[in-house]
C-alpha cells in the first residue's frame, strides 16, 4: 500500500461539515495557530494521543473514522507483530498463553 493511502484523513471534511474555520478548530483544540490544523489536515503532522482524543470528543467520531489511513497503518503494524508473537506462544498450554493466543488469532483474522 502506498504512503498516500496511509496519509488520507477526513479532518478537513469534518471541520467544513460543521462550518468551522481552521482558526476556530485550532482554538477548540487549544492551539494558537491555524497552521497546526493545516499540517494535520495535510498529514504533515501526525496527531498525538491527546489531540486524537480532543478531535474525537469534538466531532463525536472515532480516530479510525477521521484518520482511516493512519488507523489502517496501525492495524497492519499490530497484526504483523501479533503474527510474530503468535508463533512464539504456539504450543504453550498454560491458561494465560491460551488467552493471549486467542486474542492474537483474533487480531490476525481481522487484519
- Average pLDDT over all residues of the chain: 92
End-to-end CA distance of the chain: 14
In this predicted structure, the answer to whether residue 4 has a pLDDT above a threshold of 90 is: no
Contact in structure between 66 and 56 (CB atoms under 8 Å): yes
Q: Which of 49, 41, 52 is nearest to 12 (CA)?
A: 41
49-61 tens-digit pLDDT: 999 999 999 999 9
pLDDT cut 70: percent of the chain above it: 94
Round the CA-based radius of gyration of the chain to a whole number and report it: 18
Amino acid at each position: 500500500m502506498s504512503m498516500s493511502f496511509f496519509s488520507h484523513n477526513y479532518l478537513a471534511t469534518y471541520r467544513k461539515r460543521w462550518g468551522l474555520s481552521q482558526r476556530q478548530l485550532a482554538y477548540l483544540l487549544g492551539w494558537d495557530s491555524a497552521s497546526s490544523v493545516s499540517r494535520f489536515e495535510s498529514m504533515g503532522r501526525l496527531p498525538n494521543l491527546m489531540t486524537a482524543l480532543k478531535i474525537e470528543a469534538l466531532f463525536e467520531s472515532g480516530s479510525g473514522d477521521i484518520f482511516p489511513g493512519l488507523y489502517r497503518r496501525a492495524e497492519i503494524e499490530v497484526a504483523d507483530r501479533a503474527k510474530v508473537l503468535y508463533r512464539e506462544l504456539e504450543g504453550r498450554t498454560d491458561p494465560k498463553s491460551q488467552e493471549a493466543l486467542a486474542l492474537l488469532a483474533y487480531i490476525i483474522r481481522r487484519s
